[in-house]
Amino acid sequence: MYLAVTKQNNLDNTVSTDDESLIRLLANIQKHIVLDAKDMEYLHRVFKHRTVQKKELLLLQGRLCRKLFFVASGSVRAFNVSDDGKESTIMFAIDDWWITDMYCFLNQKKALLSLEVLEDSEVFELSYEAFQKGFEKLPQLERFFRILFQNAYVREQLRVLETISLTTEERYRNFVIKYPQIVEKVTQKQIASYLGVTPEFLSTIKKK
Amino acid sequence: MYLAVTKQNNLDNTVSTDDESLIRLLANIQKHIVLDAKDMEYLHRVFKHRTVQKKELLLLQGRLCRKLFFVASGSVRAFNVSDDGKESTIMFAIDDWWITDMYCFLNQKKALLSLEVLEDSEVFELSYEAFQKGFEKLPQLERFFRILFQNAYVREQLRVLETISLTTEERYRNFVIKYPQIVEKVTQKQIASYLGVTPEFLSTIKKK
DNA sequence: CGCGACGTTGATTTGCCTCAACGATTGTGG
DNA sequence: CCACAATCGTTGAGGCAAATCAACGTCGCG
């Protein structure tokens, strides 16, 4: 098993949070493709592990977006701040989610979004260069990311449908049902900014 | 060139609309991957060409979604009708766009969307089975669809951001700027249902 | 030609925002 | 560890954005 390799220089018998995080990353990728020891080693090399803490910004709106993130544990929020200061939350990423400002990552443009760590978290980052080279080094990654983007596309399309067809109250209900773990971790203000309404209005909805 | 092969049984020198459509399909795929003659032959076999006419439904909400469509020419609209009869347009597909109810196609579930042909069109359809088998037969398709879904995801995410952060008027302006060819082809009612507002309200916006 | 869908306009109602105030919670520095 | 500041969640009053409903002229189509 690959983990044994990574633990060669781990003198005691405990599994470090680094190892745990790495396991989560590899397990996530292996949901869709098969990896041998060499593949895992390669991924271990190109994915940089980081322990980040609450309130840290993984990306600041306006800066070049160079990294794709995998959240091994904890939570991250992606949001935009408009000229007049209004915040809009695009997505929350908790355990095992991938997140970045994808538009700006793929086109290497200035970020429309900021990425904010919501609690102390373990993440992996993959640089744009490694992302592009990865497809040559490990062609199966085409399949992995095909499925990842496929799911992401479907998710966003359903969100669009909900946003334009349902009432705010229905959308809030659906959010709570769909993402109960997120509801526990984030503030109501953040949920409001995800739904595109004011915190005050969300508050009145909740009274029922 | 591959087209020469397909034209063996084409006695005169004209290029049929079938050929033109096929060229568009192959050119679209070759934007992202390289195809040799055998690949093209394979794709020609699995993609079924159809000439469809205005008002035809490629998919009816509630039915099993079996096909993925490529619009070689013409236009198609994907929309949902809610229980109380309200229509919401999820997307328009014009020349060179791919369209289906992706969620239900990928999960082989009953369609949330109907697909309506807006004008006489040339489309190709790919069955779910062929879609899945295609990745074995032609592994480069992983890359092609990876990029296709990647772009689709980014597009939808930007739409979500616009929807929750901009006013209806701003969103209408952006739509006209972004998709002028679509504006020419579709009714105002359909644009309203894409923006998630009533036709009456869109009408008042346009007065300026 | 006549019907039905479309686009427009206006009157009224409803959903949601803005602004302001307040207690409760969280975070921070002394 | 406490005190203070800052942010959060709630509530209410008033205002604006958008929906609803109805009426009417126009256009495309059978």
Alpha-helix runs per DSSP H in A123-167:
128-137, 140-165
Best CA proximity match to B117, nearest among B54, B63, B190 = B54
Task: Say whether B101 sits in a helix, a strand or coil.
Answer: coil
Contact A161 B196 (CB under 8 A): no
CA–C1' B143–D17 (A): 45
Backbone angles phi, psi at B96, to 5 degrees: 75, 15
In a domain, A186, yes or no: no
Percentage of residues in chain B having pLDDT higher than 90: 89
Q: Let me know if residue B49 belongs to a domain.
A: yes
- At A172-203, the pLDDT tens digits run 999 999 999 999 999 999 999 999 999 999 99
- Strand D close to B165 by CB, under 7 A: no
Positions of strand C less than 7 angstroms from a protein CB: 6-11, 15-20, 27
B200/D30 CA-to-C1' distance in Å: 28
Domain contains A198? no
Query: Could you give the number of structural domains in chain A?
Result: 1
**pLDDT range class, residue A48, cuts 50, 70, 90:** very high
Evaluate whether residue B104 is within a structural domain: yes
Please give the interface size between A and B, counted as residue pairs whose CB atoms are below 8 Å apart.
100
pLDDT per residue over B17-49, tens digit each?
778 899 999 999 999 999 999 999 999 999 999
For residue A175, the 8-state DSSP code is: H
Return the residue of A nearest to B81 by Cα.
A165
Answer whether residue A36 shows pLDDT above 70.
yes
The answer as to whether A62 is a domain residue is: yes
Is B109 a residue whose pLDDT tops 50?
yes
**E-state strands within chain A:** 48-52, 57-59, 67-81, 87-93, 97-99, 114-127
CATH code of residue B70: 2.60.120.10
Residue type, B130: A
The b-or-e profile of A167-198 (16+ CB within 10 A means b, else e) is: eeeebbeebeeebeebeeebeeebbbbbbbbe
Residue B87 has pLDDT above 60, yes or no: yes
B202 assigned to some structural domain:
no
Closest chain B C-alpha to A73 CA, distance in angstroms: 24
Chain A partners of B88 at a C-beta cutoff of 8 Å?
161, 164-165
Nearest to A86 among B154, B160, B165 (CB): B165
Domain that holds residue B71: 2-165
Start-to-end C-alpha separation, chain A? 52
Residues 6+ apart with CB under 8 A from A140: A33, A34, A35, A39
Buried b (16+ CB within 10 A) or exposed e, A92-126: bbbeebbbbbbbbbbeeeebbbbbbbbeebbbbbb
